Amino acid sequence: MKHIHKIIAVLAAVSAAWVALLETSTVPRSYTWLLPIYLVVALGCYGLFMVGYGLMFFPTCPREAVLLQQYSTNC
């Protein structure tokens, strides 16, 4: 359950920062409303990067490769 607490804490911090930006006039209001969309796009890009990175360096995990080969022959 510790991981979910970290996620909730990060979401609460991001939400608080977003509300603070909405309340102050440091950033124009038209840009501030788009920040959640930018955050979702950035998280999507990060996720795709991590999947690509994992696929590029998968062959360096011989134990997992053997497990996958055993699984595919058992099916």
DSSP 8-state assignment for residue 33: T
| Alpha helices per DSSP H over the chain | 2-23, 29-32, 35-56, 62-74
| Residue boundaries of the structural domains of the chain | 2-74
Place 3 in a pLDDT band, splitting at 50, 70 and 90.
confident
Burial of 59 (0-12, 13-18, 19+ CB in 10 A): exposed
The reply to whether the predicted model has a pTM over 0.75 is: no
Q: What is the pLDDT of residues 4-51, one digit of tens each?
A: 888 889 889 988 888 887 788 777 777 777 877 888 898 899 989 988
Q: What is the mean pLDDT of residues 65-75?
A: 77
- As a whole number of angstroms, the distance between CA 37 and CA 35 comes to 5
Amino acid identity at 8: I
